[in-house]
Structure 1
Amino acid sequence: MHTPPDLRPFGGADVYLSSCASRAVLDLIANKWVALVVGALHPQTLRYAELRRRLGGITKKMLTQTLRDLERHGLVRRTVHATVPPQVEYSLTELGTSVSGLMAEIRNWSESHIDEIAAAKLAYAEAEAHRVEAL
C-alpha cells in the first residue's frame, strides 16, 4: 500500500500523521452511530424519537452524544420549534449531505458482504481451533 507524501507543506492534510486535524474528522465519520444517524437523516428531517426508533439498539445517551457531535462538527442541524412541549427536529446540513453518499456506500457494502464476512469468521475460528488442538 502506498502512503502519500506529507502534503502539509503544500497546504494539504495528511490523515496518516497523528498531529493532522483531518484525523479527528476521520474519527468522527468512522463511528458506527454517526454512519447510521447520517443515513437515517438522508434525505429527511426526523424528530429525536423517530431517530431512536429508526436506529435499533442505540441508547438515549449515545443518540444524544452522536447528535451533539454531528451538530458541533457542522453535519447536522438542530431546529427547535416553539411549541408545548418544544418540538426538536434534526436534519443534515449541506456538509452532512455531502458525506451521506459515502456512508450509504459503506452501509451497502456491509449488507452485501455479510455472508462472506460470516464465512471468514467461521473459517478463522475453525482454523484457530485446529491450531489449539495441535499444541
Structure 2
Amino acid sequence: MIQSGRASLTVVSTETDPALISEILGLVPTRVALRGSVRRSGRPLEHNVWTIDVEQSPNADADADETGTQALRDLVTGARPAIGKLSRLPDDCDAKIWWSADSDSTQGGFVLRAELAASIAELGVDVYATVYLEGGESTEAEQ
C-alpha cells in the first residue's frame, strides 16, 4: 500500500518570467529557479522553473484511505485558484503535475478516485506519476 507521497505543479518556460506565471495563475510558488542559474552539476539551467510543492505527505489514515494519493489531493486542492488559467500561460510555458509515492510492498497500487481525476481535469494539466516499490527479498530458489 502507498505509505507516503510527494506532488508538484511545475511550469517550465524558456522566456516567461516566473513572476508573470504567478500573476496569471494567482498562486505563489514554493520555489523558483531562473534560467542561467547554476545547477548542482555546475551546468547552467536552460529554462525558468516555477513550482508549487507538497513535500513528503504521509497517507493520512491508511485504514480509512487506501487511495495513497494524499499529496496529490493536497496539491490539487491548493492549486484550485489556477482552474481555467493554465491555458492562459504563454506558448513557451509547459505545465505538469509530478506525483511520486512510496509503497511498503513490491506492489504500488493506488486509487485515482473520480473526484480527484475530475479536479485534475479542471486544472487542465497532465499528471506524471511514479511509485517507488519496497525491494523484495530474494528467496533461495531465486538465487
Which structure ranks higher in relative contact order (CA pairs < 8 Å, sequence separation ≥ 6)?
2
The interval holding the TM-score normalised by the smaller chain is under 0.3
Q: Which has the larger radius of gyration?
A: 1
Structure whose residues are more often helix by fraction: 1
